[in-house]
């Protein structure tokens, strides 16, 4: 059944035909009227009453796409205003609604208007460029943490000599403040004698970028003591590789036990530091201990070991021996092992 058009619609269609305008209806005019009001900042509730909608939700659903596009356009227009760096505040200043910063960022991200910062990629070197040539030229420092049952977390501050790997000083702290770093450095200066001896320059400190290491209090303390300070790059782990390797060695032993008193943890760390400094030989130091290198005993020890090797009797050459000699030598070397093996009768 054909619908009956209102007199207003028939009058509009007649006007469109006289003006030779096609594909236009009263609904198009109604939508244009509403969108123009929205573009000029009219309130959505006022448009609801003008259009005769029973609920404002009907108006919002009908023009949600237009409102979204208008917000995109407003965001792009605000980018051309250098006097308003904060886009979220600019929305509040120029419009009748509030937009959060996260919404602004999301809209800019959709429009591909968020530019990434120009990162300068620096490839980490395999070793330090300026290597140390003597003890007390460069000290490394950092924190690591341990838990004591019923007491909470404790933080170990360590000062390690870069040249000899020798642990000069350490301190178990209840925090990681600049005061803890300066107190450990004070112990290191006293243990090394650098606080009393007249030297050409004090040791240079190498640390990470932790809050305690980049604080103004530490910088003022180091300037007073005449010590230079260098912070390692954020990502290359080899910058403080010697100190990190010591921490791995320490934790592999300390974490095997559970500690209920801070004193027990401190005693355990002290015994491991003593073993590391005076008994554990390092292949990178020529199979010498850190204490041998730090206290200048390396040359004497290597010279003594060289003389001992010269006085040792030469070992028989298996290649120059006969087949029977080789067989007898192997039997002589293997026989004590077989005799000492309680399960040798099973083989």
Q: Identify the structural domains of the chain with CATH numbers, from first to last.
A: 26-110 (no CATH), 138-294 (3.30.420.10)
Q: Give the pLDDT of residue 32.
A: 78
Rounded CA separation 111/76 (Å): 9
Task: Give the per-residue pLDDT at 166.
Answer: 95
Residue that has been written with the tokens 């000083």 in this structure: 169
- Cβ 232 vs Cβ 129: under 8 Å: no
Assign 3-state DSSP to the chain and report helix, strand, coil percentages, each to 5. Answer: 50, 10, 40
Which residues make beta-bridge pairs with 171? Answer: 157
Phi-psi region of 247 (alpha: psi -120 to 50; beta: other; left: phi over 0): alpha
pLDDT at 341: 42
pLDDT of amino acid 49: 80
Q: How far is CA 101 from CA 89, 105, 119, in A?
A: 9, 6, 24
Please check whether residue 280 is in contact with residue 289, taking contact to mean a CB–CB distance below 8 angstroms: yes
Query: Which residues of the chain are under the pLDDT cut of 50?
Result: 1-3, 81-85, 319-347
187-242 pLDDT, tens per residue?
999 999 888 867 777 899 999 888 888 889 999 999 998 899 988 877 666 678 88
In order of 157, 188, 303, the CA distances from 178 in angstroms are: 11, 15, 44
The neighbouring-strand residues paired with 139 are: 161, 205
Helix (H, G, I), strand (E, B) or coil at 203: coil
What is the tally of helices (H) and strands (E) in the chain?
Answer: 14, 5
- Please enumerate, as own/partner, the contacts of 133-136 that have beta carbons within 8 Å and a separation of 24 or more: 133/163, 134/163, 135/161, 135/163, 135/164, 135/166, 135/293, 135/294, 135/296, 136/161, 136/163, 136/192, 136/194, 136/199, 136/203
Q: Which residues of 133-148 are buried (b: 16+ CB within 10 A; e: fewer)?
A: eebbbbbbbbbbebeb
Q: Hunting for tokens 């259009």 — which residue is that? A: 51
């Amino acid at each position: 059944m054909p619908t009956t058009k209102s007199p207003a619609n028939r009058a509009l269609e007649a006007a469109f035909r006289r003006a030779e305008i096609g594909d236009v209806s009263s609904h198009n005019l109604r939508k244009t009227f509403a969108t123009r009001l929205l573009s000029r900042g009219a309130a959505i509730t006022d448009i609801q009453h003008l259009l005769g909608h029973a609920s404002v939700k009907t108006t919002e659903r009908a023009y949600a796409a237009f409102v979204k596009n208008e917000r995109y356009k407003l965001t792009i227009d605000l980018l051309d205003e250098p006097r308003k760096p904060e886009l979220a505040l600019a929305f509040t200043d120029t419009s009748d609604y509030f937009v959060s910063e996260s919404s602004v960022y999301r809209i800019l991200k959709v429009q591909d208007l968020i530019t990434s910062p120009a990162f300068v990629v620096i490839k980490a070197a395999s070793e330090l460029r300026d290597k140390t040539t003597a003890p007390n030229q460069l000290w490394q420092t950092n924190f690591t943490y341990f838990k004591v049952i019923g007491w909470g977390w404790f933080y170990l501050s360590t000062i390690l000599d870069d040249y000899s790997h020798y642990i000069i000083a350490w301190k178990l702290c209840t925090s990681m403040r600049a005061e803890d770093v300066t107190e450990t450095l004070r112990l290191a200066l006293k243990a090394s004698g650098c606080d009393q001896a007249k030297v050409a320059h004090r040791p240079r400190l190498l640390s990470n970028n932790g809050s305690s290491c980049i604080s103004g209090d530490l910088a003022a303390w180091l300037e007073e003591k005449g010590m230079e300070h260098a912070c390692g790059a954020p990502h290359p782990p080899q910058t403080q590789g010697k100190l990190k390797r010591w921490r791995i060695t320490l934790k592999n032993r300390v974490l095997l036990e559970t500690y209920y008193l801070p004193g027990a943890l401190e005693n355990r760390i002290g015994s491991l530091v003593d073993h590391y400094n005076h008994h554990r030989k390092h292949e990178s130091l020529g199979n010498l201990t850190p204490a041998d290198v730090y206290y200048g005993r390396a040359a004497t020890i290597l010279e003594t070991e060289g003389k001992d090797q010269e006085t040792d009797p030469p070992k028989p050459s298996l290649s120059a021996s006969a087949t029977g000699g080789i067989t007898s030598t192997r039997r002589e070397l293997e026989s004590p092992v077989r005799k000492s093996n309680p399960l040798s009768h099973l083989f």
